[in-house]
Every structure is written in C-alpha cells, then in structure tokens.
Amino acid sequence: MKTIRETIQYILLLIPPALKTAMQDRRAFYSLSVFMFLQNIIMFMSWVVYFSNFSSLKGWGLADVAVMYGMAAFSFGIAFLFSGGTLDMARMIGEGQLDIYLGRPRHPLPGLMFREGRAAGFGDMITAPLLWVVFAHCDVWQLLLLTLCGLCSGLVILATTLVINCLPLFFSQAGRLNDQLLETFTIVSTYPQNGFPGMVKILLLTLVPAGFVAFVPVEAFKTGNVWLFLGLAAASVMYMTIAVMIFNRGLWRYASGNRMLEMR
Amino acid sequence: MSISATAGLAVFGARRAAHERFAIAVPVVTYALLVAVFASIFHATPLHELPKGLRVDAAGLIWYLVLTEMTTFIGGYTFSEVRSDVLDGQFTASLQRPVSYMQVKLAEWAGQRMVRASAFMTAGFVLGWLFTGTMPFSLPMLPFFAVSVLLGAAIHSTIYGILGVFEVWGPYARPAMWISQKFCFLLGGLLLPLSLYPHWLQAAAWVTPYPAILYVSGRLALDPDGWTVAAGFAAQGFWLAVTTALAFAVQRAAARTIMRRGF
C-alpha cells in the first residue's frame, strides 16, 4: 500500500512538468487544442446528420452517442494531455532510449509515461462538456459523474496504449504495428458498440477493452446501474495492473541501447 | 518533365509501395474492421424511417461505405510523407533539383495508388460481398468504379500533399490535416450518402472538393446509371485539375518562404 501511495505521489509530481512541456509553445498549444476541438465537433456532425434521418440506433439516440463521443474524447484527452510519453514508448524502446530511465532510482514507467504532455489532449477534453451539455442536456451532477467515468476510461486507454507500446520489448519486428493497433483501438472506441454482435461485445470487454471507453460508461450512465460504474472502476485498475505487469516482464527482455551516457 | 520520366517515377512509386507490404497490409485490416463496424451499424439502422424517395437498404449503404472508405485508404497516405520531407529538410534540398518536388511526388503517388488500389479494391469487394451477400453492379460497370475510386483517391492524396507542405510555415500542417480530414468525412459523405443530408449542407458540400473524393464514387453503389457516372467523372476531373494547380502554387509559395527565410 505504501508503494502505491508513493507511486501516486511521484506521478503527481511528474504531471506539472508534463503539462509545462505541452504548453511550452503557447501558440502551438492553443492552435492544436482549438483544431482538435473543431475536428471532434465536425466529426460528431456526421452523427447529427444520422439522427436527423433515423430515430435511434438499437435504442441509442443522439444524446447517447453524444455521451459516448464525449466520453471517448475526454478519456483520450485526459490520458495523453498528462501522459503523452506513453504514445512514444515503442519508438523509445526501439531506439534503446530506456537506458536513461533505467538508471534512475525510481521505477522507469512513471517517468516514461509522464515525460511529456500532448497539447491536443486539451482540445479533446474540452469537447466533452460541450457535447454532454448541448446534446445530452446533462446537469452538474451528471457532468461530475461522467468526468469520473472519463477518468476510469482514461486509465483503460493508458493501459491499452502501454501494452501496445510494450510490443517492441517482446517482438523486435513490431515496426509500426503499435500505431496501427492504437488507431484500430481508437476507431472501435469512438463508434456506438451497442449494435455489435454478442461475441464482439465480449471481445471488446476483454482482450480489446474498447468497451470500457464507450459502451460501459454510456450504459452505466443511461441505466444508472451502480454495478456498471463499479465494474468500470474495477476494470480500469485491473487493466492498468496488467499493463504494468506486462511492462515489467518486457523489461527483462530489454537489451540496452548503450545510451547510459545520456542519463541525467 | 517528359512523359517517360513521369512514367519512370510512377513505376518507382509503384515498386516502393509494393515493397512496403506492411504499410498496406495493416491499413487493409483497419479497413476491414471499419467496414465490419459499419455493417453492424447499418444492419441495426431503422432504414424504413427514410422518406420513400431516399430509401436505401443496408446492403446499399454497406457497399457505399466500402467504396468511400476504400477511396480514403487508397489516397490518404501522402500527408506524413510530405510533412516528414519538410521537417527533415528533404523539401528544401529538392529546391536545387531541376524537377519540382510536387511534380516528382505527384508522379510517384500515381504509381503508389495503383498498388494500394489493387490491395484495397480486392479487400473491398470481398468485404462488400461478405457483409451483404450481393454485388450492386454488373461486370461491365467495374472499370467505371475503379476509375472513379482512383480519381477520388488522386484528389485526396493531392490535398493531403498540399497540407503536408503547410509545415513550412510552422506547426500548422497537422491541425490543418485534422480539419480537412474531418470535413472530408462530413462533407464528402463518408458514412452516409449526401442525399440524406439537409439541403443546406448538401449545397455547402458541393462547393468543396470533398464530394468529388468520396460521394461520387460511393454513389455508384446506390445509383449506377450512365448520367451519374458521367456527372461524377466531370466533377472529379474538375477538382483534380484545381487541386493539382493548387499543389504547384502552394509549393511555389513554400519555396519563396524558404528562400526568403534561408532554411
């Protein structure tokens, strides 16, 4: 328990510098945020067009899709605004740059993940409240609830991204597979999953946990089912634990890039 | 640049694309996944709610999406290439060469698109048949589909190339690409045919090149008559000429900026 507390304290110390890296170039930060926000809204308009023609999609209306789309935007945004380093880990592993982090007294993972922030994440995050308020007509308490769900989903996204970016530790030929896998995960996470067949839903709640980014939060919010909320929270902790275990296992296989001199 | 040099560059582009099999195979998997996702969405869509004049069935919509997504995947790879060339100085280095950067790239991309098209068209027709059990067009119509998809992809890759050059002026290329991509998805009718859009949005869409990229080829799956094909080709030809001219204009502007700035 003490180790977990210390790790959380360490991560909290790493977040402000990560944010500073994201905001280092103010012009880039604001332009990336604004354009990310705009692209999310433009993409969502496709769903507005869809629901101007059809009343529902297997029980989901525009409000539900707005909750889902906002949830995906918020979770991806919060995950990478603070932990943009996770997206780059596969490249760092490939180039042997883990050495710099392995030489530090703390576990290398928090340092690697919270190495930098991604400005576009802020644009993603601010999309969510707009969609939730304008299209799903959420009140303050519902916004708070969705934000909590978003934090859990963000953790699932981070865990998945971490596992995907650990691939070069196990397969030297992983190449650009991590980018493609993450893109696939993002695609599946941002479309309504209630129309999927049962087997696919099971897959999305186990091996490819995109269901915890879109499907479970929306269903929990729609039905007010406490067990679904608890399940989401438990899944986020479980997936992050598994991801850390996979990273630790992969570290044993890591061959140094002989970059110890760059350690600082 | 002579025709033989252009053809040589196109062959070079085709060979390069054929060599980078992984860069095609993985997007094909993503393409298949997207078609699967939307097949389930369209099968769950209450299509009977559409007004009589606009009625389409799930199979028609799936085939429409197969074609629009196919065009996106065939053409949408040039942005990163150009942006990387700008960032690592290849674009600047190309200014010393006798042939312009854009001429070389347009020729190479034409070759690359042929290889990508063969992979995505094969996958697309298998997927379309798999998810619908139908084929919305006859065999003689196939070449028209292929040409329409290729023209749409050509406009798409030219626009992405233009957006990649924007990196010369600062970190604007990626945001510009995001916006253009999403406008392409919305105004091009990636997921739903433009005929299902409100009239004002249809009118707005038709003043942009995006319907020529996606809707024109997608519509052939819903309404494959001679007039649709001819009108579609005219729109695609027009926008291909406009975007190609724009690509050269943007390249000249970028070159002037580099010359003035010195890097």
Of the partner residues B30, B41, B174, the one whose CB lies closest to the CB of residue A180: B30
Find out whether A106 and A44 touch, Cβ atoms under 8 Å.
no
> Which positions in chain A touch B171 (Cβ < 8 Å)?
25, 28, 31-32
Q: Measured between beta carbons, which residues in chain B are less than 8 angstroms from residue A57?
A: 41, 44-45
Smallest CA–CA distance, residue A262 to chain B, in Å, is 23
* Binding-face residues of B in 11-30 toward A, CB within 8 A: 22-23, 26-27, 29-30
User: How far, in Å, CA of A235 to CA of A90, rounded?
Assistant: 24
Residue B168 has pLDDT above 90, yes or no: yes
At B160 the pLDDT is 96
Write down the pLDDT at residue A183: 84
What is the SS3 assignment for chain A? CHHHHHHHHHHHHHHHHHHHHHCCCHHHHHHHHHHHHHHHHHHHHHHHHHHHHCCCECCECHHHHHHHHHHHHHHHHHHHHHCHHHHHHHHHHHCCCCHHHHCCCCCHHHHHHCCCCCCHHHHHHHHHHHHHHHCCCCCHHHHHHHHHHHHHHHHHHHHHHHHHHCHHHHCCCCCCHHHHHHHHHHHHHCCCCCCCCHHHHHHHCCCCHHHHCCHHHHHHHHHCCHHHHHHHHHHHHHHHHHHHHHHHHHHHHCCCCCCHHHCC
Kindly determine whether residue A28 and residue B174, on different chains, have CB atoms separated by under 8 Å: no
Please check whether residue A173 touches B, CB under 8 A: no
Q: Minimal Cα distance from B194: which residue of A?
A: A49
Residues B200, A52: Cα–Cα separation, whole Å: 14
CA distances from B27 to B10, B70, B73, B200 (A): 22, 10, 7, 34
Q: Which residue in the set A32, A50, A187 is minimally distant from B33, CB to CB?
A: A187
What string of pLDDT tens digits covers the 264 residues of chain A?
678 888 889 999 999 999 998 888 888 888 889 999 999 999 999 999 999 999 999 888 999 999 999 999 999 999 999 999 999 898 888 888 888 888 888 889 999 999 999 999 999 999 999 999 999 999 999 999 999 999 999 999 999 999 999 988 888 766 667 887 888 888 888 888 777 777 778 888 888 899 999 889 999 998 989 999 999 999 999 999 999 999 999 988 887 665 555 554
How many angstroms separate the CA of residue A32 from the nearest CA in chain B?
6
A25 near B CB under 8 A:
yes
Phi, then psi, of B193 in degrees rounded to 5: -60, 145
Q: Residue B65 — very low, low, confident or very high, per pLDDT cuts 50/70/90?
A: very high
Q: Are B165 and B250 in contact (CB under 8 A)?
A: yes
Q: B19, B22, B24, B26: best mutation site toward chain A, by most A Cβ within 10 Å?
A: B26
Whose structure tokens read 């957006």? B163
Nearest of B78, B64, B76 to residue B189 by alpha carbon? B64
- Which of residues 66 through 85 in chain B touch A, CB cutoff 8 A? none
Q: Which of residues 197-216 of B touch A (CB under 8 A)?
A: 197-198, 201
Nearest to A195 among B41, B50, B174 (CB): B41
- The pLDDT of residue A261 is 56
pLDDT at B72 over 90: yes
Which residue of chain B has the CA closest to A48?
B197
Identify the residue among B41, B167, B185 best suited for mutation to test binding to A, counting A beta carbons within 10 A and taking the highest.
Answer: B41
Cβ-based contacts of B174 with chain A (< 8 Å): 32
- Is A97 exposed, middle or buried (CB count within 10 Å of its CB: 0-12, 13-18, 19+)? middle
What percent of chain B is modeled with pLDDT above 70?
Answer: 100
Q: Is B191 exposed, middle or buried (0-12, 13-18, 19+ CB in 10 A)?
A: buried
| A38 neighbourhood in chain B, CB within 8 Å | 178-179, 182
Report the residue of chain A nearest B45, measured CA to CA: A57
Query: Are residues B46 and A35, on separate chains, in Cβ contact within 8 Å?
Result: no
Residues B26-45: what's their mean pLDDT?
Answer: 89
The answer to whether A58 contacts chain B (CB < 8 Å) is yes
Instruction: State the pLDDT at residue A227.
Output: 94
CA angle B102/B256/B107 to nearest 5° reads 5
Residue B140 banded pLDDT, cuts 50, 70, 90: confident
Query: If you average pLDDT over every residue of chain B, what do you get?
Result: 92
Q: Which of B17-31, B198-212, B224-238 has the lowest mean pLDDT?
A: B17-31
Shortest alpha-carbon distance between residue A54 and chain B (Å) = 6
In B170-259, DSSP assigns E strands to none
A197 to chain B, any CB pair closer than 8 A? The answer is yes
Q: Pseudo-torsion of CA A74, B31, A199, A78, nearest 10°?
A: -10
CB contact under 8 A, B46 and A192: no
Minimal Cα–Cα distance from B100 to chain A, Å?
Answer: 30
Is B46 within 8 Å of A176 when comparing Cβ atoms? no
Question: Burial level of B201, CB count in 10 A (0-12/13-18/19+)?
Answer: middle
Mutation test of the interface with chain B: which of A37, A51, A54, A124, choosing the one with the most B Cβ atoms within 10 A?
Answer: A54
The complex scores an ipTM of: 0.89
